[in-house]
Amino acid sequence: MGAFPEFGPDAETHSLTTKDGVTMRVVTQGQGPGVVFIPGGDQTAEGYSQQFQHLTDHFRCISYDPRGAGETTSPPAPWTMGDYARDCAAVIDAFAGGQAAVVGLSLGGLVTQQVAIDFPDKVRIAVPMGTSAYIDGFTRDWMQAEIDIRKAGIELPGYFLAPHFAVYAFPAKALGDPKLWAEIKPAYTERFAGRDPKDLIDQWEACLDFDCREDLKTCPVPMHVISFSEDVQTPPAMCKVVSDLAPGGVFHEIRGLGHVSMTRHQPGVVATKLRAILSNDP
């Protein structure tokens, strides 16, 4: 396995160029109601490959490389969540007939909220996971430190990448599983070893600039917020702010999972929750 598990053989890869001058790599698979999956920070579309495996029997699953990751190219940063939201709206128009359910994790969760706010007619239901309406506290200090260390020209050595990033992604019980760690260690080393420091800076600064607390109060889109009880990056209390502010907000907490447990750790558990939410989508 590489940095992310691969898509199945029937997945199709496309290229989409938007009026903003962004050329995105888009992956589609399955038939049925359209669901657009927005990757998190430092992730490509493959971050959802295991969710595709579980959900393409009933849904047309769509994901893409966002600005600052994978094969997507875009105008230079700074970028805003509004920029990311327009990119997602273009994907919805091109591959989902103009309306879709939208699911996103982490940075993708912030974008999910912004798409629902800016393009409510394009979003049947929004499912932000591991998310926040505004980043503060420990999470802000940690993300700012990651940005600042790269701005200072300090490069984390390869042997430190997996031990450093995995503790923010998976719960302790998962990291204590030798078989799972044998998968995570090389994957996270590969994922971050080739990461352009500027791409991380640009994506993460967009996250720290994000604040949709006021806009959420009038967002008409049903908002199902998924939190994970062992999430260090975005603890459940941070996620609950989003569901509390949104008029159609519903809060879900999945016990025993961490920020990125949807990949490698417990993809089936996350997919089961998503299926239940999306299947009730009118």
At position 135, the amino acid (one-letter code) is I
User: Of 135, 131, 187, which is closest to residue 162 (Cα–Cα)?
Assistant: 187
Residues in contact with 80: Cβ distance below 8 Å, sequence separation at least 6, in sequence order: 206, 209
- Kindly state the DSSP code that residue 35 receives in the 8-state scheme: E
Per the omega criterion (within 30 degrees of 0), is the bond before 78 cis? yes
Positive/negative CA dihedral, 73, 121, 247, 125: negative
pLDDT, one tens digit per residue, over 3-24 is: 788 999 999 999 999 999 999 9
Q: Considering the chain, what percentage of its residues have pLDDT values greater than 70? A: 99
CATH, range 12-279: 3.40.50.1820
pLDDT in tens, 241-252: 999 999 999 999
- Tell me the percentage of the chain whose pLDDT exceeds 90: 97
Query: Is the dihedral angle over the CA atoms 233, 193, 44, 5 positive or is it negative?
Result: negative
Q: How far apart are the first and last CA of the chain?
A: 37
Q: Looking at residue 1, what is its pLDDT?
A: 46
Give mean pLDDT, residues 115-139.
98
pTM value?
0.97
Report in angstroms the alpha-carbon separations of 72 from 26, 65, 99. 9, 6, 22
Q: What is the pLDDT of residue 3?
A: 77
pLDDT classification of 157: cutoffs 50, 70, 90? very high
Tell me the residue type at 131. T
Q: What is the DSSP string of 77-119?
A: SP--HHHHHHHHHHHHHHHSTT-EEEEEETHHHHHHHHHHHH-
* pLDDT confidence bin for 149, thresholds 50/70/90: very high
257 touches 266 (CB < 8 A): yes
Domain positions in the chain are 12-279
Closest CA to 41 of 130, 121, 117: 130
